[in-house]
């Protein structure tokens, strides 16, 4: 079993920055992809970014968000800059074997952390 817990969400003004963290514990496979997804009210959960050596971003966050991973601490991070109101969502950390954008490919999920960007 793997446990994931996100932190770092909050309220920020448009143009501001936040750094999300995801603490992983349990039987973690270093070969697994770690990813961030988000879900806004009334919308489906969508891919944000993923990392396993290389990184991959959704077009909507490319150039503004940076995903990173600390293998020694079993931590995943998402640095979010130039935030926009449309970035408002619950952000989830997830892990799975494949570098894909579909939620069904990810095996373990955290409970999420709320990010609210005011205009």
The answer to whether residues 36 and 20 touch, using CB atoms and an 8 Å cutoff, is yes
Mean pLDDT for all residues in the chain: 95
Mean pLDDT of 106-111: 96
Residue 36 pLDDT greater than 90, yes or no = yes
Residue 110 pLDDT greater than 90, yes or no = yes
State the DSSP code for 6. E
pLDDT the model gives residue 75: 95
Structure tokens at 49: 């970014």
At 46-101, the pLDDT tens digits run 999 999 989 999 999 999 999 999 989 999 999 999 999 999 999 999 999 998 99
């Amino acid at each position: 079993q793997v446990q994931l817990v996100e932190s770092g969400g909050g309220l920020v003004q448009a143009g501001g920055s936040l750094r999300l963290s995801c603490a992983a514990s349990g039987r973690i496979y270093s070969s697994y992809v770690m990813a961030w997804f988000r879900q806004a009210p009334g919308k489906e959960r969508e891919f944000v970014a993923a990392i396993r050596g290389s990184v991959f971003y959704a077009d909507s966050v490319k150039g503004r968000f940076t995903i990173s991973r600390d293998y020694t601490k079993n931590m995943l991070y998402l640095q979010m800059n130039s935030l926009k109101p449309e970035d408002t969502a619950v952000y989830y950390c997830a892990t799975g074997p494949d570098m894909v954008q579909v939620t069904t490919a990810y095996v373990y999920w955290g409970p999420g952390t709320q990010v609210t960007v005011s205009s």
